[in-house]
Amino acid sequence: MATDNKELARRIMEEIWNNQQIDLADEIIAGDFVQHDPQSPFPVEGLEAYKQFVQHYLKAFPDLHFTIEEIVSDGQSVVTRWSSTGTHSGDLPGIPATGRRTTCSGIVCSRIENGRFIESWSNWDTLGLMQQLGAIPGEQLERAA
The whole-angstrom separation of Cα 35 and Cα 120 is 5
Q: Could you read off the pLDDT of 40-72 as tens digits, one per residue? A: 889 999 999 999 999 999 999 999 999 999 999
Q: Where are the domains of the chain?
A: 2-132
The whole-angstrom separation of Cα 52 and Cα 142 is 35
The whole-angstrom separation of Cα 138 and Cα 121 is 27
Q: What is the pTM of this model?
A: 0.89
Q: Could you read off the pLDDT of 80-103 as tens digits, one per residue? A: 999 999 999 999 999 999 999 999
CA torsion sign, 4 to 6 to 9 to 11? negative
CATH of domain 2-132: 3.10.450.50
